[in-house]
Amino acid sequence: MSKGRFITLEGGEGGGKSTQVFRLAERLRRTGLSVVATREPGGAEGAEIIRKLLVAGDPGRWDPMTELLLHFAARRDHLRRTIWPALERGNWVVCDRFADSTMAYQGYGQGLGPAVVDSVYRLVVGDFKPDLTLILDLPAAEGLARADARGGDNRYERMDMAFHERLRQGFLEIARREPRRCAVIDASQPADSVTEAIAAAVRSRLSVAV
């Protein structure tokens, strides 16, 4: 049995990642693939418990280093219990956020820097990386307006605009650093257009007829 492929969707708040994860997973299933759709933080029992600590409460609840360690603790549980077993079974995994979010949010947005995040990544994750990362990009103000319109109480959405601007630039820098892995998608388009742009990137990069 061949191993599956790992696709991640990344970007700031309000970019429509959850919708696009669902749509991409369904399109992949229609090609006959077995697909696991999951999310971070979360995606496994222990990781979902940690998620509640990270997304709820006051924006200043944790300092950046504590947040970094909590995200990687959740990620380790997610990898061991969900992602790695699914890939070994030959499933394709489509994930709403992965380690690029930690790089963007804590590394760039909160100022820890890429070197710190990279060092913890190597310790916790090792050499493993997504086969394809789709970065849903749109202006920070537009994304926050969308997030506000849908409701919810995510503490990251209540951080200041300067943080969200740094966050967006962080994702774009990740894409510049790893162009073979990352594809930037214009998420300011209508959702159906974003879906088609994602499908085109998956066809081109992973040679699957979605």
Q: State the pLDDT at residue 148.
A: 82
| Residue 9 DSSP SS3 | strand
Given a contact cutoff of 8 angstroms between Cβ atoms, the answer to whether 84 and 107 are in contact is: no
pTM of the model: 0.95
Given a contact cutoff of 8 angstroms between Cβ atoms, the answer to whether 6 and 87 are in contact is: yes
Cα gap 209→70, rounded to integer Å: 37
Q: State the pLDDT at residue 149.
A: 83
| Residue 148 DSSP SS3 | helix
Strand ranges (DSSP E) for the chain? 6-10, 35-39, 92-96, 132-137, 182-186
Given a contact cutoff of 8 angstroms between Cβ atoms, the answer to whether 151 and 24 are in contact is: no
Residue ranges of domains in the chain, CATH in brackets: 6-206 (3.40.50.300)
Given a contact cutoff of 8 angstroms between Cβ atoms, the answer to whether 6 and 134 are in contact is: no
DSSP code of residue 40: S
Token representation of residue 95: 């994930």
Q: What does R_g of the chain's alpha carbons equal in angstroms? A: 16
Given a contact cutoff of 8 angstroms between Cβ atoms, the answer to whether 159 and 31 are in contact is: no
For the purposes of burial, counting CB atoms within 10 Å of the CB of 119, is it exposed (0-12), middle (13-18) or buried (19 or more)? exposed
Q: What is the pLDDT along the chain (210 residues), one digit of tens a residue?
A: 568 999 999 999 989 999 999 999 999 999 999 999 999 999 999 999 999 999 999 999 999 999 999 999 999 999 999 999 999 999 999 999 999 999 999 999 999 999 999 999 999 999 999 999 999 999 999 999 988 888 767 899 889 999 999 999 999 999 999 999 999 999 999 999 999 999 999 999 999 999
Contacts of 119 by beta carbon, 8 Å cutoff, 6+ apart: none
- Dihedral angle, C-alpha 165, 6, 31, 205, nearest 10 °: 70
